[in-house]
Structure 1
Amino acid sequence: MDQSSNRLSLPSSPREFGFFVDGEWRGGREFFDRASPGHGAVVTRIPRCTNKDLEDAVAAARTAFEDRRWSGLSGGERAGVLLRAAEGLRRRRDEIAYWETLENGKPISQARGEIDHSIACFEMGAGAARLLHGDSFNSLGDNLFGMVLREPIGVVGLITPWNFPFLILCERVPFILASGCTIVAKPSEVTSATTLILAEVLAEAGLPAGVYNVVTGSGRTIGQAMTEHPDIDMLSFTGSTAVGRSCVRASADSNFKKLGLELGGKNPMIVFADADLDEAADGVAFGIGFNTGQCCVSGSRLMVERSIAEEFEARLADKMARIRVGDPLDERTQVGAITTEAQNTTILDYIARGQAEGARVVTGGTPLDFGGGQYIAPTLFAGVTRGMAIAQDEIFGPVLSSMPFDTMEEAIRLANDTVYGLSASVWTKNLDKALAVTRRVRAGRFWVNTMMAGGPEMPLGGFKQSGWGREAGMYGVEEYTQIKSVHIELGKRTPWIE
């Protein structure tokens, strides 16, 4: 670290990785060179795996599941491995955060916070492994006893995105492992390093070979092959709704594998006139600025009560203009780089389209030049109407659209005016309003007078076209199980044939 500037240094040369199958590292034959989006310098070399590599990984996961080297352990034994993994993550926290920042472009301080949350996920998973249970039915009469068993579903394919490569991975892996399943993971090809580092951590924690495997490659090849693979029992995919729809089609055409889908969002933040406006402005700025708005639960639509709309937009613009955008390796940075060139172009195109459709830029709206990398100023649009693209489409960047409302009914109607239903928030000091809005806005996660708060005890997931199923907490472990009903006859059988 450069102590004078509170800035970490780039690596002297790219770090080359292998991929991980059946407890062993394998070398790549072809590689992706990943350039840091904050600097433009190549930082990692990631193997471009083949379908044969995927076949090997699935076979290893299948063997590990069928011989019960993991699922046959007690919940307490599985918990021990997960707790040792949590300790391994704690020891390597700064290293993992560093490579996450280099590949993704998020601020180093944010990356460290995400590793802390990931550690908590493993600790939660350990507890869940001990608590997972079925049920019994003592109500079937004296001659019949019923049990409901939860069994691991089998081999799980796990496809994770580039916006939260390690956090989303760790909101799934410990819960999948707690259930007794085995895993074949495929990270985004642009942010693969930390998923591969987790393989080292899990192996050192004592996870048996074949239980966690990592193949790297593009979604069009390896990802598509995973969705179609007949020996993968369940697929967990986090990404766009369009790709999620293709996962549904592929599952139907292969083995009807179970799907867990966390997809897009166009999430409302509702601010009433009776809210603490300074706190609300700070929370809304955080809601759109966190992870440069490249977050499926970002608050990208602001509904503000008309009587305070102009005043609130001014307060919010002042907050957003003071967000510290810059080098992700600088400890002081709050908003870093846009992760991919394609996403950078998409965001700037939406900003131009919003202006062309008549919305007004209150603050931001421009790319920022720091001598390397790709950056966009946090942007607030006012005068947005429901038919505009910036009001309906998931932009996946630091672009917020503000729309006024007059009544609570109108606010709820605007909030629900989307194909998505991933998250929402409301800002008010009136308990009646807060509960009414919470109960009627259709979203899988909801925050009252806060934004993106919570822990791994709580389930994650969406309504409508934001996905299927739930991750994290006990719900997240149960998601990776299937239920078996068992009926036990007691006493002498009443003959069917006399």
Structure 2
Amino acid sequence: MLDDAKRRLETPTRYRNFIAGQFAEASDGGVIERESPAHRRLVSLYPASTRDDAEAAIAAARHSFDAGGWAFSYCGERARILREVARLIRQNAEELALVETLETSKPLDAARGEVMFAAELWDYAAGAARMLSGDSHNTLGADMLGLVLREPIGVVGIITPWNFPFLILSERLPFALAAGCSVVVKPSEFTSGTALILASYLKDAGLPDGVCNILAGTGDPVGQAILDSDDVDMVAFTGSSRVGRAAIAASAGNIKKLSLELGGKSPSVVFADCDIEAAVDGVIKAATVNMGECCIAGSRLLVEASIAETFQERIAERLGDLRMGDPLDPTSRIGAIINQAQFDRIDMLVRDGVQDGARVVCGGDPENYSGLFYPPTVLADVTPGMAVAREEIFGPVLSVMSFDTPDQAIRLANATEYGLAAYVWTNDLSTALDCSRRIRAGRVWVNAALQGYPELPLGGFKQSGNGRETGRYGLDEYTELKSVHLQVGRQPERWVEGA
């Protein structure tokens, strides 16, 4: 593994697009260069796809769907192909993890875990493909049988972000394929490597040409072409709420369906009766996993006032044991920030928070580190109106507020435009259930943080998006319902008399 990492740091890997079953460069030869954030070395070269490339990919997907070979294929054949992709992912997990680590700077062990969970998602989708069904109504009278058919929605555009490139793609693509859709995938221009590698697994598994097309490029022109196209029936977009709003506006052209997983400002709600050490560890994990570059990061700590001072001091102590460094080092828990612009934004928000009256408990001093490493930071004395309490920072920054009663905790938890996730720490069952039911978020963890399962859906409330991915609900997302009214007996009276 280290030899492979060294080779990739010395000689960047060149990737190609996958359109209509063929691997190709960008039509004008353009290239996107990607440096490793942790090593500041060029590691990947992607095609800088043009609008013509995007339109070719969309046309291939449209042709494959309209031909019906995949859309109306036997579900067992779809399942077989998806299972084979899962097998190839596991077989090549080390390569995929290394590429993720070099391109995102996430620790290698974390990348391995994400790749293996992605394989589980492909396996789950394979099983779900066999369960996809409609309904029948035999109660419409002696002469009428009603059928409800569940059909693939059509051509789906999947636009994925840079923070969990392979995992987020695997939360969507296998479910769209299981439903019988044809797909165009645009990964982030910062982390396209694993998506382009996946194309070879799809081809080797026997996926028909044109059913899935994957091309690298920037949001404009490639992402915009997908959003604008009348030949794309649905777009699954994961990213910021700002870009999500733009996607909604663009989709009005042909009123395409959208599934959106957008920003978050998730609370970790800690009650005094919890297991303190477990809560400290879980809060740190929720706030710092993937360097805090996580839509469901627990970036707001709401802690009961009676333990607030002690709890945040314990957080600071434990953060001192959290190693930040080279993501290839197995002892590292935190790598570098994705790029300079994101690093600067994190630093600006922390400085603004301090200027607004927040107090730095630990961290907040990136000048003491070389490169794009931002230290885990805890800000106390935060008030709900501060930007650090409202805006998604997307870095390892925890904003601390206190509460006195469960009702106040829930009000604080909901005092945001977002609603993607929440974490609750308490040993009281009634409190846990009350918070789970009243906090407006798509996912709630109780005495746990970030465990994921293919069976459970994910998605957001409020401005964190709409639609659901994964689980059986995620499969339904990529389908349409059609009612069939089947006259089976005596014909009704003629509409035109005397006919």
TM value normalised by structure 2: 0.97
Structure 1 residue aligned with 2:200: 200
Structure 2 residue aligned with 1:214: 214
Shift of 1:220: 2.5
Checking the alignment, whether the CA contact within 8 Å between 2:9 and 2:41 is kept in structure 1 is: no
Alignment of 1:264-275 (within 5 A): 264-275=263-274
Structure 1 residue aligned with 2:430: 432
Report SS of the residue matched to 1:176. helix
| CA distance in structure 2 between the aligned counterparts of 1:2 and 1:192, rounded to whole angstroms | 22
Report SS of the residue matched to 1:458. coil
Structure 2 residue aligned with 1:247: 247
Structure 1 residue aligned with 2:312: 313
Equivalent in 403, 406, 413 of residue 405 of structure 1: 403
% same residue: 51
What is the CA deviation profile of residues 328-363 of structure 1, one whole-angstrom value per residue up to 9, with x for unaligned ones? Answer: 111111111101111001000011011111101111
| CA distance in structure 2 between the aligned counterparts of 1:241 and 1:107, rounded to whole angstroms | 27
| CA distance in structure 1 between the aligned counterparts of 2:471 and 2:171, rounded to whole angstroms | 9
Checking the alignment, whether the CA contact within 8 Å between 1:368 and 1:377 is kept in structure 2 is: no
What is the CA deviation profile of residues 33-63 of structure 1, one whole-angstrom value per residue up to 9, with x for unaligned ones? Answer: 1010011000011111111111110111011
| CA distance in structure 1 between the aligned counterparts of 2:367 and 2:284, rounded to whole angstroms | 18
| CA distance in structure 2 between the aligned counterparts of 1:464 and 1:25, rounded to whole angstroms | 40
Structure 1 residue aligned with 2:332: 333
Structure 2 residue aligned with 1:361: 360
Checking the alignment, whether the CA contact within 8 Å between 1:369 and 1:375 is kept in structure 2 is: no
| CA distance in structure 2 between the aligned counterparts of 1:255 and 1:315, rounded to whole angstroms | 53
Shift in alpha-carbon separation, 1:9–1:313, aligned structure 2, 3 A: farther
| CA distance in structure 2 between the aligned counterparts of 1:48 and 1:27, rounded to whole angstroms | 8
| CA distance in structure 2 between the aligned counterparts of 1:128 and 1:248, rounded to whole angstroms | 29
Report SS of the residue matched to 1:213. strand
Report SS of the residue matched to 1:83. helix
Checking the alignment, whether the CA contact within 8 Å between 2:248 and 2:258 is kept in structure 1 is: yes
Shift in alpha-carbon separation, 1:203–1:370, aligned structure 2, 3 A: farther
Alignment of 1:410-489 (within 5 A): 410-489=408-487
Shift of 1:369: 5.9
Checking the alignment, whether the CA contact within 8 Å between 1:8 and 1:330 is kept in structure 2 is: no
Checking the alignment, whether the CA contact within 8 Å between 2:64 and 2:70 is kept in structure 1 is: yes
Unaligned runs of 5+ in 1: none
Would you say 1:394 and 2:401 are equivalent positions?
A: no
| CA distance in structure 1 between the aligned counterparts of 2:369 and 2:22, rounded to whole angstroms | 41
Structure 1 residue aligned with 2:133: 133
Checking the alignment, whether the CA contact within 8 Å between 2:19 and 2:213 is kept in structure 1 is: yes
Structure 2 residue aligned with 1:30: 30
| CA distance in structure 2 between the aligned counterparts of 1:456 and 1:2, rounded to whole angstroms | 31
What amino acid sits opposite 1:163 in the alignment?
Answer: N
| CA distance in structure 2 between the aligned counterparts of 1:164 and 1:36, rounded to whole angstroms | 15
Would you say 1:376 and 2:377 are equivalent positions?
A: no
Structure 1 residue aligned with 2:69: 69
Shift in alpha-carbon separation, 1:60–1:329, aligned structure 2, 3 A: same
Shift of 1:487: 1.1
Structure 1 residue aligned with 2:280: 281
| CA distance in structure 2 between the aligned counterparts of 1:272 and 1:9, rounded to whole angstroms | 49
What amino acid sits opposite 2:264 in the alignment?
Answer: G
What is the CA deviation profile of residues 354-384 of structure 1, one whole-angstrom value per residue up to 9, with x for unaligned ones? Answer: 111110111111216665x410111111110
| CA distance in structure 1 between the aligned counterparts of 2:138 and 2:420, rounded to whole angstroms | 39
Find runs of 4+ consecutive structure 1 residues off by over 2 angstroms. 7-12, 368-371
| CA distance in structure 1 between the aligned counterparts of 2:366 and 2:141, rounded to whole angstroms | 71
What amino acid sits opposite 2:156 in the alignment?
Answer: V
**What is the CA RMSD across the aligned residues, in angstroms?**
1.4
Aligned length: 494
What amino acid sits opposite 1:128 in the alignment?
Answer: A
What is the CA deviation profile of residues 384-443 of structure 1, one whole-angstrom value per residue up to 9, with x for unaligned ones? Answer: 000110000011110110100000000000000000000001000000000001000000
Would you say 1:490 and 2:474 are equivalent positions?
A: no
Shift of 1:216: 1.3
What is the CA deviation profile of residues 191-244 of structure 1, one whole-angstrom value per residue up to 9, with x for unaligned ones? Answer: 001110010111111111111101211113211121111110100100000110
Report SS of the residue matched to 1:59. helix
What amino acid sits opposite 1:276 in the alignment?
Answer: D
Shift of 1:10: 4.8
Structure 1 residue aligned with 2:104: 104
| CA distance in structure 2 between the aligned counterparts of 1:69 and 1:142, rounded to whole angstroms | 36
What is the CA deviation profile of residues 171-192 of structure 1, one whole-angstrom value per residue up to 9, with x for unaligned ones? Answer: 1111010000011000111100
Report SS of the residue matched to 2:78. helix
Would you say 1:346 and 2:341 are equivalent positions?
A: no
| CA distance in structure 2 between the aligned counterparts of 1:369 and 1:404, rounded to whole angstroms | 30
Shift of 1:112: 0.3
Checking the alignment, whether the CA contact within 8 Å between 1:9 and 1:329 is kept in structure 2 is: no
What amino acid sits opposite 1:14 in the alignment?
Answer: P
What amino acid sits opposite 2:268 in the alignment?
Answer: M
Structure 2 residue aligned with 1:303: 302
Shift of 1:11: 3.0
Checking the alignment, whether the CA contact within 8 Å between 1:237 and 1:260 is kept in structure 2 is: yes
Shift of 1:69: 2.0
| CA distance in structure 1 between the aligned counterparts of 2:452 and 2:118, rounded to whole angstroms | 13
What amino acid sits opposite 1:50 in the alignment?
Answer: T
Shift of 1:464: 0.4
| CA distance in structure 2 between the aligned counterparts of 1:442 and 1:27, rounded to whole angstroms | 45
Shift of 1:145: 1.3
Report SS of the residue matched to 2:282. helix
Checking the alignment, whether the CA contact within 8 Å between 1:368 and 1:374 is kept in structure 2 is: no
Checking the alignment, whether the CA contact within 8 Å between 1:456 and 1:472 is kept in structure 2 is: yes
Checking the alignment, whether the CA contact within 8 Å between 2:359 and 2:381 is kept in structure 1 is: yes
Checking the alignment, whether the CA contact within 8 Å between 1:161 and 1:187 is kept in structure 2 is: yes
What amino acid sits opposite 2:285 in the alignment?
Answer: F
What amino acid sits opposite 2:420 in the alignment?
Answer: L
| CA distance in structure 2 between the aligned counterparts of 1:49 and 1:483, rounded to whole angstroms | 35
Report SS of the residue matched to 1:127. helix
| CA distance in structure 2 between the aligned counterparts of 1:9 and 1:27, rounded to whole angstroms | 23
